Amino acid sequence: MLVGLGLGPGNPELLTLRAVRLLKEADTVFVPGRIAHDLVAPYREPVMLDFPMTDDEAKIRSCMKENARKIAPVAQDGLAVFGILGDPNFFSTFSRLCAVIAETHPKVEFRTEPGISSITAFAAAAGVPVNQGFTVSDGTVSETMILLKVRHPKATAESLRAKDYCEFVLVERMFFDDMKVYRNDELPEKSDYMSVMYARK
């Protein structure tokens, strides 16, 4: 198993309790750089990997393959943790790494554990309350939406289909014991106040 573990925005006091537990339980912890290394080091000595900051796609691919070669044997036989700044599902290298590992080690399983992302950390650091919808982008035009507090998911999805959205995921009461995940045609008429919907064109 390979777990992409969010380490938060860089302050050691913003690690989650779950992150600390997984760092201690892992057979090996891998990190992509010095800041992540220093966050993990109080709990165990991680293996530092090279992920160059470059637009050279060939070099990125080559480094991904080399890092996959180091991680895959651990993930295939035990618990490998890849600690990454922020959250592993938001603008991170983790999904690309998983795709490369899947090519050569298709039996390796993957999952992620959330960390405090730069998006939510920014609001606290800047003292900016976010009380209405907003857009986050890496500089490209987004075709994805995340909607909070979706009480009528089926009707919401129908209205978004008219705007060319076609993929939907609803998570109700996430990380509670009774968490439920619905996809596309499974969407219920009504959902709990603590519901988040993902929509993609």
* Tens digit of each residue's pLDDT (9 = 90 or more) over 98-132: 999 999 899 999 999 999 998 889 888 878 788 88
- Whether residue 49 contacts residue 67, with contact meaning beta carbons closer than 8 Å, is answered with yes
**Whether residue 73 sits in one domain with residue 17:** yes
How confident is the prediction for the chain on average, in pLDDT?
Answer: 92
| Separation CA 153–CA 146 (nearest Å) | 12
Residue 111 lies in a domain: yes
Q: What are the DSSP calls for 120-143, one per residue?
A: HHHHHHHT----S-----SSS---
pLDDT computed for residue 68 by the predictor = 94
**Whether residue 52 sits in one domain with residue 149:** no
Residue 135 lies in a domain: no
Residue 74 lies in a domain: yes
**Whether residue 164 sits in one domain with residue 104:** no
pLDDT computed for residue 32 by the predictor = 93
**Whether residue 91 sits in one domain with residue 56:** yes
Give the pairing of strands 167-172 and 195-200.
Answer: antiparallel
pLDDT computed for residue 11 by the predictor = 93
pLDDT computed for residue 119 by the predictor = 85
Question: Is pLDDT at 135 greater than 80 in this prediction?
Answer: no
**Whether residue 152 sits in one domain with residue 91:** no
Q: Containing domain of residue 71, as a range?
A: 2-119
From edge to edge, which strands make up the β-sheet containing 195-200? Answer: 144-148, 195-200, 167-172, 180-183
Share of the chain above pLDDT 70, in %: 100
Q: How confident is the model over 148-160, as a mean pLDDT?
A: 93
* Tens digit of each residue's pLDDT (9 = 90 or more) over 166-192: 999 999 998 888 999 999 999 999 999
Residue 104 lies in a domain: yes
| Separation CA 79–CA 2 (nearest Å) | 6
**Whether residue 92 sits in one domain with residue 59:** yes
**Whether residue 168 sits in one domain with residue 115:** no
Please report which confidence band the pLDDT of residue 66 belongs to, taking 50, 70 and 90 as the band edges: very high
Residue 137 lies in a domain: no
- For residue 99, give the 3-state DSSP assignment: helix
Give the pairing of strands 195-200 and 144-148.
Answer: antiparallel
**Whether residue 12 sits in one domain with residue 57:** yes
Residue 68 lies in a domain: yes
Q: How confident is the model over 72-80, as a mean pLDDT?
A: 96
Residue 73 lies in a domain: yes
**Whether residue 96 sits in one domain with residue 17:** yes
The total of structural domains in the chain comes to 2
Question: Is pLDDT at 139 greater than 80 in this prediction?
Answer: no
Residue 54 lies in a domain: yes
Q: What is the CATH number of the domain that holds 73?
A: 3.40.1010.10
**Whether residue 80 sits in one domain with residue 9:** yes
